[in-house]
A and B are shown apart, each in its own frame.
Chain A
Amino acid sequence: MSSLDRSDVARLAALARIDMSDADLDRLSGQLAVIVDAVAKVAEVAGEDVPATSHPIPMANIHREDVVRPSLAQDDALAAAPDAEEGRFRVPQILGEEA
């Protein structure tokens, strides 16, 4: 497995919606490359015959009756919103100028 370089980190940061300055990329890229190289070790022992474990304790799905129960009131849900209007979350425009 190959290590991460600066352009990989820039691409991943964009995917993860985190703006990165040149200084951020300089600082984090080197550290991330070291970490990725260290964790690549997991592939060494992961043989074909070993099943994957996603969850530490075996569990079954749970169900409940499909009945209405009290939940968060609209005002409470909107109380901490950075911006709200007419009972809804308000966001800046979704499409950029180029769209």
Chain B
Amino acid sequence: MTAIDWTRATAAQMADALAAGEVTSVELVQAHLDRIAAVDGPVHAFLHIDAEGALETARAVDADRAAGVELPRLAGVPIGIKDVLVTKGLPTTAGSRILEGWIPPYDATVTRRVREARMPILGKTNMDEFAMGSSTEHSGYGPTRNPWDLDRIPGGSGGGSAAALAAFEAPLTIGSDTGGSIRQPASVTATVGVKPTYGGVSRFGAIALASSLDQLGPCGRTVLDTALLHEVMGGHDEMDATSLDEPVPAVVEAALAGAQMDLTGVRVGVVAELSGKDGGFQDGVKRRFEESLDRLRAMGAEIVEVSCPSFEYALAAYYVILPSEASSNLAKFDSVRFGLRVEKSTVEKTMLATRAEGFGDEVKRRIILGTYALSAGYYDAYYGSAQKVRTLVQRDFDAAFAQCDVLVSPTTPTTPFKIGERIDDPLAMYLNDIATIPANLAGIPGMSLPSGLAPEDGLPVGFQILAPAHEDARLYRIGAALEASLTAEWGGPLSAQAPELEVAE
């Protein structure tokens, strides 16, 4: 009999096995550290590994469990944290050279909640610099590679968090989603990712990209695992003025209910503008999407088509609002209080040199774009207009949700592309997020889960579900139902079909 490979288990299975005394947290953490050592060289999902810290947490959890102390559900289950969240005592860079070597003096609220849930933190996951990108190629520390094909991108900005899951380096990770940075990486790596309702998870201690769009969320390999982490992360926080003062939606309960595969009476809206009818969507992506709709129908859901005409302008509005807010948020990297300093004769010359050296090209592009959009004479035409488009997008969603309970679309127009393919064409890169951006503009929750592999290239396709604000639980109910239907056919999760990675000696 061979030993169980715990890295292949779900977080829920790990939690149950820990509670039943079938495995220790130290064994789980060590198995994942060994896996990281074996495969993360080429995958490069992690920027920093905290082996000793993770084992220390694991030992304490094991000791408490042996002593009969009551523990949170996920206590002892290891996790990876996107490098956008500050972690006291652990390096935090947000993927930027300007923060190389920075050790934050405090914990983000979500970091604190992970620690309170007694989850060993394996390390910090790679990302596009300051979360600007859809491929993780804009990381200041080199790209992450997609475990399904190491020549391809793992999505972005949270490519590290998604690749860590797909490579079985962690059962759970945390992401941040400003325009799709949780959902799009989930789509291209055959994993699950959720952007909660804006304000559902505290942003305190998350290095801000665009404050009116950013939302932290859970990433996992199954819908239930993602729900378990959502409940750890979510909830009101007085340290974030935009935090919703309401209970965390009952997402675990919704995931369990969805797995019963009964969607009788659920109305599912297909967004005409996001379903690839006008081209631009890969054939295999459309095919898997249509098949998933058939599955929802077979479980009792009613499928209706809805139109959201303003979505045509969402991408443009996003690329005005995001750079405007980012140019302001990134002003704090001024060489004075923390981070890089390239010393020159005056403080102004020092700032100019520091920001030139510390920021990558994509960050520079967006800061300049934002500075332009906010400058006198252009503000109304760009920023003011973009805020109006935001209203129109919200109205489209309101009208659509009057006709149905959830909206669905493919998460991304294509399967993962090759590293380097779009790096010199920013607009082509921005189009990756065409289906995910509207949710951020409106603040509504969204999920991506695997819907299969595209027949033409054998690469993952994601299915996106969107729900009205505060109705995050609906994502989990519909998502769990679709997942149950698909995995019954596949004979297990899609992630199990990923090619074996070469293991380093």
Partners in one complex: yes
Q: Chain A: residues with CB nearer than 8 A to chain B?
A: 1, 4, 8-9, 12-20, 24, 27-28, 31-32, 34-36, 38-47, 50-57, 59, 61-62, 64, 72, 76-77, 79-83, 89, 91-97
Q: What is the interface size of chain B, counting residues whose CB is below 8 A from a CB of the partner?
A: 74
* Docked complex Cα distance between A47 and B485 (Å): 45
* Docked complex Cα distance between A24 and B51 (Å): 40
B113: which A residues are within 8 A, CB to CB? none
Docked-complex contact B313 and A45, CB < 8 angstroms = yes
Give the nearest-CB partner of A99 in chain B.
B346
Q: Smallest CB–CB gap between B228 and chain A, Å?
A: 25
Docked-complex contact A17 and B313, CB < 8 angstroms = no
Q: A35-B319, A35-B426 are in contact. Are A42 and B386 (CB under 8 A)?
A: yes
Give the nearest-CB partner of B390 in chain A.
A53
* Docked complex Cα distance between A54 and B385 (Å): 11
Docked-complex contact A52 and B353, CB < 8 angstroms = no
Docked-complex contact A39 and B345, CB < 8 angstroms = no
Q: Smallest CB–CB gap between A46 and chain B, Å?
A: 4
Docked-complex contact A80 and B367, CB < 8 angstroms = no
A17: which B residues are within 8 A, CB to CB? 334, 348, 351-352, 355
Docked-complex contact A53 and B427, CB < 8 angstroms = no
Counting CB contacts under 8 A, is B336 at the interface?
A: yes
Contact with A along B97-127 (1 / 0, CB 8 A): 0000011111000000000000000000000
Docked-complex contact B347 and A52, CB < 8 angstroms = no
A50: which B residues are within 8 A, CB to CB? 388, 391-392
Q: Smallest CB–CB gap between B137 and chain A, Å?
A: 15
B106: which A residues are within 8 A, CB to CB? 72, 76
Counting CB contacts under 8 A, is B443 at the interface?
A: yes
Docked-complex contact B361 and A19, CB < 8 angstroms = no
Docked-complex contact A18 and B368, CB < 8 angstroms = yes
Give the one of B346, B364, B368, B390 with max A CB within 10 A: B368
Q: A12-B371, A20-B356, A56-B442 are in contact. Are A96 and B364 (CB under 8 A)?
A: no
Q: Smallest CB–CB gap between A85 and chain B, Å?
A: 13
Q: A12-B372, A42-B316 are in contact. Are A95 and B336 (CB under 8 A)?
A: no
